[in-house]
């Protein structure tokens, strides 16, 4: 019997539609307007205000790298402003990190050369030894400054970070999402974004920009990086900067019960005070657990392949013998912060993967440096911390606590280089028509009368990218299939993203950035026909020392296509 | 449901600034913090930890479906 519903739809038609819509039904249940819909913004484009600023150096991001970038650029004599999508010391990964490495020459178990060589052995040559050594050499000085500001006396960093900023009267623009790096006549000219609170477009003209925007992920579940969507990397890529490190993967797991609950998985560590640590080099947090789950199913034991007990699958990612046992023994259950520790302290029960999906390895993705001063190939554009692909640690977790140390060290290095650059140039002039074009592009999702909801597009992206047989345990056929989906989202959905308010405008830009990052990850993963560190391919399971002693750099061609090229280890780009 | 209750708010706005994912806003009518975008809560507890009057309660469940790399 062909029953009719009250609006005249047949029961069969109704079921077909209901089935097709099931993917987004759950979103609708929780009040998120999903999929394609009409858009009636609560704040129309014509009512969005405008504010301009000028400074020598604009620091984008307010984590640990941003803090040192702003402070040291000011101390080098430049006028500085800081702009942040969130709040000083409470955005990005900084507020959740607790362990910082300090190489103290009076007590260290290794000298700088010996330390750098040990990291290189663990990283199978993927680290840049110049940045590895620089991090260690400067780490104690930065840790001592943090100690003076009260860093080791609290687990809430805002007041600590605010102290040196207030002492120097450095303006901090908070809750402003930067969506555009402005380039004029071949060099950097400033940044543009919008504020969440007063609904204004902000254009900050500057001689130099230091990106301290962190890395990012696909808004994954169980790791506190949902405000990080590779914004800095993608903006820099858009204006011609080279980007690297997209084939590597951070392999943090989460709990199978309430996997999205970051705090619950990391509670003991998040409630603890930060601490400094000495040398402890591992080869850890790659994709071993994802391989185990792929081969044997759950439950998966932690640790590198071969160490997990009788049910462990053979094969999988290679761990150097020197670091096999060490990876099991050192730092397990330590309080080293997300990205540094092994299984989080307090994380119990059965684990699931993908907690940090979309993130590479700290300091091993982001802008390609052209020298040891955190400088990109775009004149005036610098980066520090997780937004700089310095390969300080290599393509796997090596030195415990080096992520925080590296952010502090690189922030200071980039600041001094940027101040030197800024002292020799003027702020490039921007025409009104240029600013209008930037504004229109930025606000486009707000101006659409209908479109795709960014939350729904993000969920589709997660479904394509996060399964362990896509970006963790890789093979050509699946990578190509996923790339077809991602290119569809890039070409068809990004141009039709809608936003009903400034919050959703932020989501729309974040969604676009995550899609570009997904394309980079898939293309770099396809290109790297070997397995090494945190990149594992089932169809090329061995390290290839003949053809792959190289990083992959990604840049945007004049026609908009994505270009990938090799850069030999231990070299700088041409 | 992630961040699910704010009781005893004094309207200082620190939670609004602190939330990395812009979940909370000050309600113009009441002058108190309101949970406006719960689907974006990453359950990190920063708002609760910074709240000067312990007004915020958070539960570990995500309000939208969770994607993990293996089931």
pLDDT tens-digit profile of A9-46? 444 443 333 333 344 445 555 556 668 999 989 888 99
Q: What is the reported pLDDT for A303?
A: 52
Cβ contact, residue pair B64, A224, below 8 Å? no
Query: Considering its fold, how many domains does chain B have in total?
Result: 1
On the question of pLDDT at A1 being above 60, the answer is: no
Cβ contact, residue pair B70, A354, below 8 Å? yes
For a pLDDT cut of 70, what percent of chain A falls above it?
A: 88
The C-alpha of B21 sits at a distance from chain A's nearest C-alpha, in angstroms, of 5
Which residues of B are less than 8 Å from A518 in CB distance? none
Chain A residue closest in CA terms to B62: A260
Cβ contact, residue pair A467, B18, below 8 Å? no
Written as six digits, the tokens of A147 are: 């100690």
Which residues of A are less than 8 Å from B35 in CB distance? none
B31 secondary structure, DSSP code: -
C-alpha A423/C-alpha A428 separation (Å) is 14
Report the candidate in A313, A237, A213 with the shortest Cα–Cα distance to residue A536. A313
Cβ contact, residue pair B68, A158, below 8 Å? no
DSSP string over A188-242: EEEEEEEESSS-EEEEEEEEEEEE----B-SS-SSSS-TT-B-HHHHHHHHTT--
- Classify residue B66: in a domain, yes or no: no
- Classify residue B71: in a domain, yes or no: no
**Residue B67 pLDDT grade (very low, low, confident, very high; cuts 50, 70, 90):** very high
* Partner residue facing B70 (CB), from A155, A264, A353: A353
Chain A residue closest in CA terms to B36: A503
Tell me the CATH number at B36.
3.30.70.20
Q: What is the reported pLDDT for A100?
A: 98
pLDDT tens-digit profile of A218-275? 999 999 999 999 999 999 999 999 999 999 999 999 999 999 999 999 998 999 999 9
- Classify residue B8: in a domain, yes or no: yes
The C-alpha of A118 sits at a distance from chain B's nearest C-alpha, in angstroms, of 32
Residue A568, φ and ψ in degrees, nearest 5? -55, 145
B42 near A CB under 8 A: yes
Q: What is the reported pLDDT for A305?
A: 46
Which residues of A are less than 8 Å from B40 in CB distance? 226, 503, 507
Supply the mean pLDDT for chain B: 93
Cβ–Cβ < 8 Å for A389, A146: no
**Residue B3 pLDDT grade (very low, low, confident, very high; cuts 50, 70, 90):** confident
ipTM score for this prediction? 0.97
Chain A residue closest in CA terms to B24: A503
CA A376 from centroid of its chain's CA atoms: 17
Residue A221, φ and ψ in degrees, nearest 5? -115, 120
The C-alpha of A25 sits at a distance from chain B's nearest C-alpha, in angstroms, of 10
Q: What is the reported pLDDT for A302?
A: 59
- Classify residue B65: in a domain, yes or no: no
Which residues of A are less than 8 Å from B44 in CB distance? 95-96, 224, 262-263
Chain B residue closest in CA terms to A197: B25
Q: What is the reported pLDDT for A337?
A: 43
* DSSP H/E element including A127: none
Cβ contact, residue pair B60, A352, below 8 Å? no
* Ordered domains of chain A (ranges, CATH): 48-248+360-422 (3.50.50.60), 254-352 (no CATH)
* Partner residue facing A352 (CB), from B17, B62, B70: B70
C-alpha A568/C-alpha A555 separation (Å) is 16
Report the candidate in A169, A195, A1 with the shortest Cα–Cα distance to residue A79. A169
Cβ contact, residue pair B43, A264, below 8 Å? yes
Q: What is the reported pLDDT for A27?
A: 55
- Classify residue B52: in a domain, yes or no: yes
pLDDT tens-digit profile of A74-105? 999 999 999 999 999 999 999 999 999 999 99
pLDDT tens-digit profile of A155-182? 999 999 999 999 999 999 999 999 999 9
Q: What is the reported pLDDT for A325?
A: 64
* Partner residue facing A298 (CB), from B42, B61, B70: B70
Range of the domain at B21: 3-58
Q: What is the reported pLDDT for A344?
A: 58
pLDDT tens-digit profile of A290-314? 999 999 987 776 554 444 444 678 8
Q: What is the reported pLDDT for A16?
A: 38
């Amino acid at each position: 019997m062909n029953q009719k519903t009250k609006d005249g739809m047949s029961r069969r038609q109704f079921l077909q539609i209901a089935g097709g819509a099931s993917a987004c039904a759950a979103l609708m249940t929780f009040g998120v307007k999903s999929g394609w819909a009409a858009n009636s913004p609560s704040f129309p484009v014509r009512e969005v205000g405008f504010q301009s600023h000028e400074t020598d150096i604009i620091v984008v991001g307010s984590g640990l790298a941003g803090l040192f970038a702003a402070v040291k650029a000011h101390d080098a004599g430049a006028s500085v402003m800081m702009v942040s999508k969130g709040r000083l010391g409470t955005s990005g990964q900084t507020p959740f990190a607790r362990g910082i490495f300090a190489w103290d020459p009076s007590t260290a178990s290794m000298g700088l050369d010996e330390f750098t060589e040990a990291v290189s052995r663990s990283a199978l040559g993927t680290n840049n030894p110049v940045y590895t050594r620089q991090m260690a050499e400067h780490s104690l000085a930065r840790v001592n400054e943090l100690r003076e500001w009260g860093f080791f006396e609290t687990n809430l960093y805002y007041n600590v970070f605010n102290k040196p900023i207030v002492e120097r009267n450095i303006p901090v623009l908070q809750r402003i999402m930067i969506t555009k790096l402005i380039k004029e006549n071949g060099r950097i000219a400033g940044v543009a974004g919008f504020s969440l609170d007063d609904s204004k477009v902000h254009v900050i003209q500057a001689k130099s920009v230091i990106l301290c925007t962190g890395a990012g992920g696909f808004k994954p579940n169980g790791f506190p990086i949902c405000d990080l969507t590779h914004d800095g990397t993608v903006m820099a890529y858009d204006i011609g900067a080279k980007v690297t490190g997209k084939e590597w993967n951070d392999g943090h797991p989460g709990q199978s019960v309430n996997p999205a609950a970051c705090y619950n998985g990391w509670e003991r560590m998040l409630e603890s005070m930060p601490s400094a640590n000495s040398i402890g080099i591992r080869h850890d947090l790659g994709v071993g657990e994802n391989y185990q789950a792929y081969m044997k199913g759950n439950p998966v034991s932690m640790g590198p392949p071969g160490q997990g007990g009788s049910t462990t699958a053979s094969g999988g990612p290679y761990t150097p013998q020197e670091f096999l046992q060490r990876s099991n023994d050192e730092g397990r259950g330590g309080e080293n912060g997300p990205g540094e520790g092994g299984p989080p302290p307090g994380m119990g029960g059965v684990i699931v993967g993908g907690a940090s999906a979309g993130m590479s390895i700290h300091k091993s993705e982001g802008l390609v440096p052209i020298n040891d001063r955190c400088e990109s190939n775009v004149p005036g554009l610098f980066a520090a911390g997780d937004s700089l692909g310095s390969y300080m640690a290599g393509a796997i977790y090596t030195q415990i606590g080096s992520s925080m140390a590296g952010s502090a060290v690189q922030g200071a290095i980039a600041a001094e280089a940027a101040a030197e650059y800024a002292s020799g140039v003027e702020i490039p002039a921007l025409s009104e028509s240029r600013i209008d074009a930037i504004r229109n592009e930025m606000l486009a999702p707000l101006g659409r009368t209908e479109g795709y909801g960014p939350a729904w597009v993000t969920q589709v992206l997660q479904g394509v990218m996060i399964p362990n047989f896509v970006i963790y345990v890789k093979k050509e056929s699946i990578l190509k299939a996923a790339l077809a989906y991602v290119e569809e989202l890039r070409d068809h959905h990004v141009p039709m993203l809608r936003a009903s308010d400034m919050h959703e405008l932020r989501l729309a830009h974040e969604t676009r950035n995550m899609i570009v990052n997904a394309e980079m990850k898939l293309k770099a993963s396809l290109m790297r026909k070997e397995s090494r560190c945190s990149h594992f391919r089932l169809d090329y399971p061995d390290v290839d020392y003949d053809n792959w002693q190289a990083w992959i750099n990604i840049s945007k061609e004049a026609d908009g296509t994505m270009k990938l090229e090799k850069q030999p280890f231990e070299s700088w780009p041409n | 449901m992630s961040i699910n209750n704010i009781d005893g708010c004094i309207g200082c706005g620190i939670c609004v600034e602190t939330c990395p994912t812009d979940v909370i806003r000050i309600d113009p009518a009441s002058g108190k913090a309101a949970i406006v975008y719960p689907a974006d809560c990453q359950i990190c507890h920063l708002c609760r930890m910074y709240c000067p009057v312990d007004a915020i309660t958070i539960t570990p469940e995500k309000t939208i479906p969770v994607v993990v790399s293996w089931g």
